[in-house]
Chains A and B, each alone.
Chain A
Amino acid sequence: MYYEFLENVAQNNHLRDIHSVIKLVFGLGCILIAISSQSIIVPLLIIAITMFATLVLAKINLKFYLMLLTVPLGFAVISVLVIIFLRNSGTTLLSIPVFDWFNIVVSTGSLNEGLLIFSRVFAGMCSLFFVALTTPVTELFTTAAKCKIPHEFIDLAMLIYRFIFTLIEQAVQIHASQVMRLGYGSAKEGINSYGMMAGSLFINTWIAGENLMMAMDCRCYDGKFALNADDLRFSPALMAGVIALLAVLIVIAVYTRGFILFGA
Chain B
Amino acid sequence: MEPIIELHNVSYKYPNGPKALDNVSFTISRGEKIALVGPNGAGKSTLLLMFNGMLKPDSGEILFNGKKITYDREALREIRRRVGFVFQNPDTQTIAPTVYQDVAFGPVNLGMPRDEVRTVVFDALNDTGLAGFERRPIHQLSGGEKKRAAMAGILAMNPDVLVFDEPTSALDPAGSEDIMELLDEMQVNGKTIIISTHDVELAYPWADRVLLIKGGTVLLAGKPGDVFYNKDLVRSCKLSMPVLLELYEGLSEKGMPQIDKLPKSALDFITYLCENCGLQRKEEKTCGDIYLADVEHTSPAIVQNLLASGSIAAVGAMGTKAKTFAGNGNICPEFTYGVIDKCVLKAINKKNTLILTSGGMFARVHTRVEAFNQEYDQHIRVIENF
Contacts and interface: CB of A to CB of B under 8 A. Distances in A.
Contact of A226 (B54, B93, B94, B117): B117
Contacts of B93: 215, 218
A212 B138 contact: no
A11 B136 contact: yes
Q: Dominant SS at the B interface?
A: helix
B92 A158 contact: no
Contacts of A229: 100, 104, 118, 121, 134
B97 A220 contact: no
B165 to A, nearest CB: 11
Q: How large is the interface on A (under 10, 10 to 19, 20 to 34, 35 or more residues)?
A: 35 or more
Contacts of A162: 94-97, 138-139
A219 B94 contact: no
Task: Name the residue in A159, A211, A218 with the highest tally of chain B Cβ atoms < 10 Å from its Cβ.
Answer: A218
B204 interface: no
Interface string B102-140: 101111111100000110010000000000001111111
A208 B107 CA distance: 23
A161 B136 CA distance: 13
Contacts of B76: 217
Task: Name the residue in A137, A166, A214, A225 with the highest tally of chain B Cβ atoms < 10 Å from its Cβ.
Answer: A225
A219 B157 contact: yes
B13 interface: no
Nearest to A159: B95
Given A137-B97, A138-B97, A162-B97, A215 B137 contact: no
B12 interface: no
Given A8-B140, A136-B137, A218 B80 contact: yes
Given A11-B137, A215-B95, A222 B111 contact: yes
A217 B54 contact: yes
A33 B154 CA distance: 48
B91 interface: yes
Interface in A178-231: 208, 211-212, 214-229
B161 to A, nearest CB: 13
A165 interface: yes
Nearest to B106: A219
B242 to A, nearest CB: 32
A26 interface: no
A141 interface: yes
Interface string B155-174: 00100000000000000000
B92 A216 contact: no
A226 B92 contact: no
A213 B337 CA distance: 36
A11 B92 contact: no
Contacts of A159: 95
A142 to B, nearest CB: 9
Nearest to A226: B104
B143 to A, nearest CB: 12
A18 B150 CA distance: 29
B197 interface: no
B291 interface: no
A138 B54 contact: no
A166 B105 CA distance: 19
Interface string A130-169: 0000001111010000000000000000110110011001
B81 interface: yes
Contacts of B105: 219, 221, 225-226
A143 to B, nearest CB: 13
Contacts of A227: 101
A214 B104 CA distance: 17
B52 interface: yes
Nearest to A168: B139
B85 A218 contact: yes
Contacts of A228: 98, 100-101, 134-135
Contacts of A138: 97-98, 101, 135, 137
Kindly list the 10 A-B residue pairs having the minimum CB-CB distance in the complex, ordered from nearest. A226-B104, A165-B139, A222-B109, A226-B108, A211-B92, A219-B106, A226-B101, A218-B85, A138-B97, A220-B109
Given A138-B137, A211-B87, A228-B135, 16 more contacts: A7-B137, A136-B137, A141-B97, A165-B137, A208-B92, A211-B92, A212-B92, A212-B95, A215-B95, A218-B54, A219-B105, A220-B81, A220-B157, A222-B110, A225-B101, A227-B101
13 contacts: A11-B137, A139-B135, A212-B95, A214-B92, A218-B80, A219-B95, A220-B80, A224-B109, A225-B105, A226-B101, A226-B102, A228-B98, A229-B100
Interface of B: 52, 54, 76-77, 80-81, 85, 87, 91-98, 100-102, 104-111, 117-118, 121, 134-140, 153-154, 157
